[in-house]
Amino acid sequence: MSSFICSAPIYEYKGWIFEYGYSSGPWPLTKKYESRQRAGAIFWEMFSKWNNLTDKEKYVTRIGGGCERF
């Protein structure tokens, strides 16, 4: 029997690391993958540019997260 553990996909774009869960929305992370305290205007400007990418372009920026079987 297999089990899965799932987390929001993690992306890296223009020097920012962030998670983007479809139910929780985007949030910036530190280099240690911990949630940042704030998401300021610079983050939201970058996210807006990332969000305008095609799905293929977004996929290339994905560095982790999602569901893992164990």
Tens-digit pLDDT profile for residues 15-61: 999 999 888 899 999 999 999 999 999 999 999 999 999 999 999 99
Please report the pLDDT score of residue 1 as a whole number.
73
In the chain, how many domains are there? 1
* Of 14 and 66, the one with more pLDDT: 14
Burial class (CB in 10 A: 0-12, 13-18, 19+), 59: exposed
pLDDT of residue 2: 81
pTM over 0.95: no
Structural domain of residue 48, as residue ranges?
A: 4-69
- Give the ranges where 1-70 is alpha helix by DSSP (H): 41-51, 55-60
Structure confidence at residue 70 (pLDDT): 82
